[in-house]
């Protein structure tokens, strides 16, 4: 049986590699390091299907160095130590360090990550880790301090279309078929910036047509994927569409729909931590000040999920989902920070009023830093009317209360204090 299209199309050189121009384009930092023939340990952080594993393999091939692979899902400390011993015995004087590639390194426990430290420090191996999670949270500090972190981005439309065209015209099987891409919107949307998904979708649609020409339209792509949901997504779900429906159902205060989409993700094998993170964001963005307890519950849900794991964690997700869906909604905090960021971009670095500045030195005090600052706790009600914004923005409003019970109380207090 032939390899899947995504594997057949896996790039073998940097020139074949699509996307990540900020890292591997002409003159980019990672390309220069590779072309110099010497690389240091690093971690590739980015969403699935953007080329993390492929890039590691290209580097090993380019440097002509031994390449070892471990999956954090199936490997333990013993496996790590065995690979390190192999690397030690296989080294030659003057040659590049063997490369150890660890996929999903964020799933390595602390003890597993600790077992890598000595080999990385001594140069026994060059570590390349791949992760879909923020390494600042998931990789232990001593190991992270010895690795550069490179961020990979989802492939954009131009990258995906280039990959599509290359597959159709260069793959050993597809180039023998008559394929016309009449519409590409559905393919791009369902792929979600994931090269592997895009190629899986293309392969699915082409294989479903026994005769030529194969005309690809949005309707055909959607129909094929509905008939074969497992064919393009390793988790068995239209990942981006399902999470979008989940979020919009909670935002729209429909607990039944929200729990249904949650169940779809649970059954589809979605990463529970991904769901919990989305709930945490939604609690702040869409429920916000209308019910501040929502953020506390969402945070407790995330922490609890990390402690008890699966499958019981689904109960925490369900409780939080229903609570957020049935809560009053407000995005006033989100709108306020967006408005403030837009203002900062437009007005630049406006000076901090002198009375708000810190004065750690005598010279600063002489210059008036901190002079006339009024300490709020020294006044009745722990409030005193003074200016906190830069002079140019003296009367600017960023936060606007929305009509719900909780924010009405906050708004009344602000009116009483500031008279506005």
Q: Is the pLDDT of residue 168 over 90?
A: yes
Average pLDDT over residues 212-241: 69
Beta sheet of 148-151, edge-to-edge order: 67-71, 99-103, 126-131, 42-45, 148-151
**Average model confidence (pLDDT) across the chain:** 85
Confidence of residue 153 (pLDDT cuts 50, 70, 90): confident
pLDDT of the residue at 239: 64
More confident residue, 313 or 368: 313
**Does the pLDDT at position 365 exceed 90?**
no
Instruction: Tell me what the mean pLDDT of segment 62-84 comes to.
Output: 82
Determine the pLDDT at residue 321.
94
- For the domain with range 20-151, which CATH number is right: 3.40.50.300, 1.10.30.50, 3.20.20.140, 3.30.1330.100? 3.40.50.300
| Residue range(s) occupied by CATH 1.20.272.10 in the chain | 239-326
Q: Identify the pLDDT of residue 230.
A: 45
Looking at the chain, the whole-number percentage of residues with pLDDT higher than 90 is: 23
Could you give the residue range(s) of every CATH 1.10.3710 domain in the chain? 348-418
Stretch(es) of the chain classified as CATH 1.10.8.60? 157-227
CATH class of 348-418: mainly alpha
Query: Is the pTM higher than 0.75?
Result: no
Task: Assess whether pLDDT exceeds 50 at residue 81.
Answer: yes
pLDDT reported for residue 325: 93
Can you give the pLDDT at residue 286?
92
Token pair of 38 as six digits: 């010497």
Confidence of residue 128 (pLDDT cuts 50, 70, 90): very high
C-alpha–C-alpha distance, residues 373 and 133, integer Å: 43
* Separation in Å, CA 1 to CA 4, 5, 255, 411: 9, 12, 46, 67
Whether 49 shows a pLDDT value over 90: the answer reads: no
The reported pLDDT for the residue numbered 227 is 61
As annotated, the residues of the chain forming the CATH 3.40.50.300 domain(s) are 20-151
DSSP-assigned beta bridge partners for residue 70: 102
253 Cβ contact list (under 8 Å, min separation 6): 325, 326, 327, 329
Note the maximum CA span of the chain.
86
- H/E run at residue 102: strand 99-103
Backbone dihedral region for residue 81 (phi beyond 0: left; psi -120 to 50: alpha; all else: beta): alpha
Residue range 352-364: average pLDDT?
Answer: 75
- What is the rounded CA–CA span in Å between residue 321 and residue 298? 9
pLDDT, one tens digit per residue, over 378-392 is 888 888 888 888 888
Report the pLDDT value the prediction gives residue 235, as an integer from 0 to 100.
Answer: 45
pLDDT of residue 216: 93
Q: Residue 43's beta-bridge partner residues? A: 129, 149
HSE toward the beta carbon, residue 276, CA cutoff 13 A: 22
For the domain 157-227, what is the CATH code?
Answer: 1.10.8.60
pLDDT band at 95 (very low <50, low <70, confident <90, very high): low
239-326 is a CATH 1.10.3430.10 domain: no
Q: How many CB atoms lie within 10 A of CB 331?
A: 17
What pLDDT sits at residue 231? 45
pLDDT in tens, 287-340: 999 899 999 999 999 999 988 887 888 999 999 999 999 998 999 998 998 889
Give residue 1's pLDDT.
43
Task: For residue range 232-289, list pLDDT tens digits in order.
Answer: 354 434 566 788 889 999 998 888 989 988 988 887 777 888 899 999 999 999 999 9
């Amino acid at each position: 049986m032939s390899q899947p299209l995504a594997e057949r199309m896996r790039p073998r050189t940097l020139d074949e590699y699509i996307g990540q121009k900020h890292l591997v384009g002409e003159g980019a930092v990672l390309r220069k390091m590779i072309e110099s023939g010497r690389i240091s340990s690093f971690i590739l952080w980015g969403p699935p299907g953007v080329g993390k594993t492929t890039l590691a393999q290209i580097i090993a091939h380019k440097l002509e160095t031994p390449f070892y692979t471990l999956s954090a899902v199936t490997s333990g400390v013993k496996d790590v130590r065995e690979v390190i011993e192999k690397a030690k015995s296989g080294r030659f004087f003057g040659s590049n360090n063997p490369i150890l590639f660890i996929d999903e390194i964020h799933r390595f426990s602390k003890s597993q990550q600790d077992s890598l430290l000595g080999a990385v420090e001594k140069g026994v191996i060059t570590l390349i880790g791949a992760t879909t999670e923020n390494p600042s949270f998931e990789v232990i500090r001593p190991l992270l301090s010895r690795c550069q972190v490179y961020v990979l981005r989802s492939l954009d439309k131009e990258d995906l279309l280039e990959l599509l065209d290359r597959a159709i015209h260069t793959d050993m099987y597809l180039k023998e078929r008559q394929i016309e891409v009449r519409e590409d919107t559905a393919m791009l949307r369902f792929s979600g910036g994931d090269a592997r998904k895009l190629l899986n979708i293309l392969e699915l649609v082409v294989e479903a047509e026994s005769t030529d020409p194969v005309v690809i339209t949005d309707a055909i792509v959607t129909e094929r994927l509905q008939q074969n949901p497992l064919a393009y997504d390793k988790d068995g779900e239209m990942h981006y569409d399902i999470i979008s429906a989940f979020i919009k159902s909670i935002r729209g205060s429909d607990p039944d729909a929200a729990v249904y989409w949650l169940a779809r993700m649970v059954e589809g094998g979605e990463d529970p931590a991904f769901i919990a993170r989305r709930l945490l964001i939604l609690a702040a963005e869409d429920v916000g000040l209308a019910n501040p307890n929502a953020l506390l519950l969402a945070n407790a849900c995330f922490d609890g999920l990390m402690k008890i794991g699966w499958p019981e964690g689904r109960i925490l997700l369900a409780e939080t989902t229903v609570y957020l869906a049935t809560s009053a909604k407000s995005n006033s905090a989100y709108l306020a920070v967006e408005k403030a960021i837009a203002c900062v971009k437009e007005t630049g670095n406006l000076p901090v009023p002198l009375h708000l500045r810190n004065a750690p030195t005598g010279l600063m005090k002489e210059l008036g830093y901190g002079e006339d600052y009024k300490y709020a706790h020294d006044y009745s009600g722990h409030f005193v009317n003074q200016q906190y914004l830069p002079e140019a923005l003296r009367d600017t409003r960023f936060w606007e209360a929305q009509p719900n019970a909780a924010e009405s109380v906050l708004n009344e207090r602000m009116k009483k204090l500031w008279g506005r």
